[in-house]
Amino acid sequence: MSFMPYVPPEQLMKDRSDYAHKGIARGKSVVGLEYHDGLLFIAENPSATLHKISEIYDRIAFAGVGKYSEFEELRIGGVRLADVRGYSYDREDVKAKDLANAYSQTMSTIFTQQMKPYEVEILVGEVGEEPGGNEIYHVLFDGSINDEHDFVAIGGHAEDLTEAMKGSYEQGWDLPTAVQRAVAALSSAEDRQIEAESVEAGVLDRTRKQRRKFRRLSDTEIAGILSS
């Protein structure tokens, strides 16, 4: 029979938080930003198939940084939640806010009740009918949740990236400008040039006529934008 030595809750939470911070700091970053036609999510990702940015629902996208297996599990949970809700009620009743709250609850529970907290941060974005109607939620490993405007950076170099974006961000960018400036900010935060082939980008584009507004930018499209 083993028994646990007493650890003050402050210490326990601090240790877990430090652990999660360290895990996230080792990984790459993601920027989410509002541009003229909707929301752009962009990241450096050497893998072409293991995505950091993906579609959740018609107007909702997901981006995660940190440990892939953990944010992938959250992404799948989100897709299931959204699809069940859309089936049970109606497609327009699926909202990023509800999803972000569900993530917040789950991550908070994991942070306080499991041995190891998740080493992830995620973004949940929803494109509005009008430019003013976009929503971006940022959920941290301990379940804390913020709603963001204009742009938000998460991951290993979030602070440098936020500084770089603060210097250049303007509302109403078109897509090529938004991609170029965001890649410039990612490069300056990493202190090296990020090549087009390792850029992953996805948009929620309100001008798409399809019901599903999410679109992944292809490698050729990104290379074309960055070389112009």
Partner 1 sequence: MNRGPEPPIGDRPIGINPSFVEHLRAVVPERTAPPAGPSGEVAVPHGTTVVGLKFGGGVVMAGDRRATEGFSIADDKMEKVFPADEYSAIAIAGAAGQAVEIVKLFQLELEHYEKITGDRLSLEGKANRLAQMIRQNFPLALQGLVVVPLFGGFDERRGGGRLFYYDATGGRWEEEDYHATGSGGRPAKSSLKKRWRPGLSRDEGIRVAVEALIDASQEDVATGGPDPSRGIFPVVQIITADGVDRASDEEVRAAYEAVVGEGAR
Q: Write out the residues near partner 1 by the rule CB under 8 A.
A: 49, 51, 54-56, 76-77, 79-81, 83-84, 86-88, 102, 106, 109-110, 212
CA distances from 44 to 25, 130, 133, 185, 197 (A): 14, 29, 27, 11, 9
24-28 long-range contacts (CB < 8 A, ≥24 apart) are 24/65, 24/66, 24/119, 24/120, 24/121, 24/141, 24/155, 24/156, 25/156, 26/156, 27/65, 27/66, 27/67, 27/155, 27/156, 28/52, 28/65, 28/155, 28/156
Helix (H), strand (E) at residue 201: strand 199-205
Q: How far is the CB of 79 from partner 1 (least distance, A)?
A: 5
Q: How far is the CB of 76 from partner 1 (least distance, A)?
A: 6
Q: How far is the CB of 220 from partner 1 (least distance, A)?
A: 19
Nearer to partner 1, 26 or 80 (CB): 80
Spatial distance between the Cα atoms of 19 and 24, rounded to a whole number of angstroms: 9
Q: How far is the CB of 93 from partner 1 (least distance, A)?
A: 14
Q: How far is the CB of 190 from partner 1 (least distance, A)?
A: 26
Q: Can you say whether the dihedral through the CA atoms of 120, 26, 61, 96 is positive or negative?
A: positive
Nearer to partner 1, 66 or 156 (CB): 66
Nearer to partner 1, 193 or 218 (CB): 218
Provide the phi-psi class of 216: left if phi over 0, else alpha when psi is between -120 and 50, else beta: beta
Nearer to partner 1, 73 or 221 (CB): 73
Nearer to partner 1, 207 or 210 (CB): 210
Nearer to partner 1, 75 or 157 (CB): 75
Q: How far is the CB of 72 from partner 1 (least distance, A)?
A: 9
